[in-house]
Amino acid sequence: MTKRSSPKQWQDLHAILATEDHDRLRQFFDDLSMSETALAVSRLSPSEQKRLVTILEPSAAADVMEDIPTEQLADIIEDLTPEQAASIMDELTSSRKSELLLEMEDEEVEAILHAMEPGQADEARKMLSYPHDTAGAIMVSEFLAYPDSATIGAVLADLQSNKSRYRSYHVQYIYVVDDRKKLVGILRMHDLLFSLHSASLGELMIKEPLHVQIDDTTKELGEFFQEHNFFGVPVVDKDGTLAGVLLPSAVEEAFNKKSVHQFLGLSGIVGGEEFRTMPLLTRSGRRLSWLSINIVLNILAASIIAMYQDTLATAIALAIFLPMISDMSGCSGNQAVAVSMRELTLGMLRRQEFLRVLGKEIGLGIINGIALGALLGAIAYLWKGNIYLGCVVGGALMINTIIAVCFGGVLPLLLKKFKLDPALVASPLLTTVTDMCGFFLVFSLATMVLPRISGI
């Protein structure tokens, strides 16, 4: 389906860049698929990337840039002069433009907007002003709108004479607006087929068409497209003015971004996506910022062990089970976190339903706690032949599993209540709490039977 090139070929880019031959460079990228383009560009040094953009004319550069993930492209564009950046930005689609600008620092955004065509800059400014998970931020501003007084003949004539421009438009409806640009009706492209050329849009249009509000959230928009099999839906502002058109694929993409954010956040990648093409110190710093919070929380948890150092010295075998209880409880808790986050995303759980989650998790916690506690307790008993050690270790894991799943289950609800992002905060917080509880349980139980387990 896509054009193939040998792996060798995309590594030739360095050589072609050195020749500064515009046509050869353009030809080179024409032969590459999207992921090959992304790969080839990612393997260039920052100065080569800059040269690439300088050699290619803006429209050809924009074609190449369309194939590169947003985060990475933002890095490349930040290194250009505002004028170079602006001339490429002017060629990108409206939604891509705002995605890119969102990745950049405020000052850079201002410099680039200043250098862009005034009309394009105003449009970009407007899109940036909408909250990121609303219709305004993901709609397209390329659509066909005509006044209700226009005739079918006039519309057809306009379509004919602007054919090439409209080809890149993504929507198959004609929107009808009144003289204050308010949306009053809609026509499907092929409704034009069966109409007299002299008829006006106002006579033929479907009145009071379905539409969404500019501040509707992606969740509401997802539901809209689930209920209505449309190719796009008009977006109106609070005055009813037609502001843009929303495509179902943009809504799916917004959901996808959310999932990626959750996946990366839970894995400790915060502050935007990381690519290995980014400067080493940026990558290192971002990862460290998360790890350094983690180490502080770890120290907090370990202080429980320090408090019970004497108990530990009496029954050194306990030390073997501490990391296991910590890790297993963390895993049990993370499972519950993931289920809650997923149910929240799908709207199957409301953020005030603490009791429901607790009710559902406590039963599961008891079953899994007994199963895991019995397993680990039996292993401890068999290993040292000491039933008390088995009870301490198994009992601690059992109780801590129940705590971990209950706390893990309600944690995303709690974080949402305090307007914190579960993807970033849930995992470190959960681990700290379950570690502390786990260590505390082991030592509390051990203290009760200390004479029976001393010297093991």
Residues of span 249-308 touching its own copies by CB under 8 A: 249, 251-253, 255-256, 259-260, 262-264, 266-269, 273-277, 280-281, 283-284, 287-288, 290-292, 294-295, 298-299, 301-302, 305-306
Q: Whose CA is closest to 327, among 386, 400, 267? A: 400
* DSSP states of 403-419: HHHHHHHHHHHHHHHTT
Residue among 54 and 282 whose Cβ is closer to its own copies: 282
Cβ proximity of 199 and 121 under 8 Å: no
Residue among 87 and 332 whose Cβ is closer to its own copies: 332
| Encoded amino acid at 81, one letter | T
DSSP letter (8 states) at residue 191: G
Distance of alpha carbon 360 from alpha carbon 372, whole angstroms: 19
Per CB under 8 A, the list member of 348, 355, 418, 419 interacting with its own copies is 348
Distance of alpha carbon 226 from alpha carbon 266, whole angstroms: 28
Smallest distance from its own copies to CB 444, Å: 17
Kindly identify the residues of this chain, within the stretch 318-337, that bind its own copies according to CB under 8 A. 319-324, 326-328, 331-332, 334-335, 337
Kindly identify the residues of this chain, within the stretch 112-141, that bind its own copies according to CB under 8 A. none
3-state secondary structure of 209: coil
Per CB under 8 A, the list member of 9, 42, 120, 444 interacting with its own copies is 42
- How many of the other CB atoms lie within 10 Å of CB of 447? 15
- How many of the other CB atoms lie within 10 Å of CB of 253? 15
Smallest distance from its own copies to CB 403, Å: 15
Q: Which residues of 60-97 are buried (b: 16+ CB within 10 A; e: fewer)?
A: bbbbbbebbebbbbbbbbeebebebbbbbbbbbebbbb
20: left (phi over 0), alpha (psi -120 to 50) or beta: left
Residue among 196 and 260 whose Cβ is closer to its own copies: 260
33 counts as binding its own copies under rule CB under 8 A:
yes
Residue among 112 and 328 whose Cβ is closer to its own copies: 328
x/- letters, 201..240, toward its own copies (CB under 8 A): ----------xxx--x--xx-xxxxxx-x-x---------
Number of residues that bind its own copies (CB under 8 A): 120
453 counts as binding its own copies under rule CB under 8 A:
no
Kindly identify the residues of this chain, within the stretch 357-396, that bind its own copies according to CB under 8 A. 357, 360, 363-364, 367-368, 371-372, 375-376, 379, 383
Per CB under 8 A, the list member of 14, 350, 351, 417 interacting with its own copies is 350
- How many of the other CB atoms lie within 10 Å of CB of 308? 18
Q: Which range binds its own copies by CB under 8 A, 32-40, 54-62, 78-86, 178-186?
A: 32-40
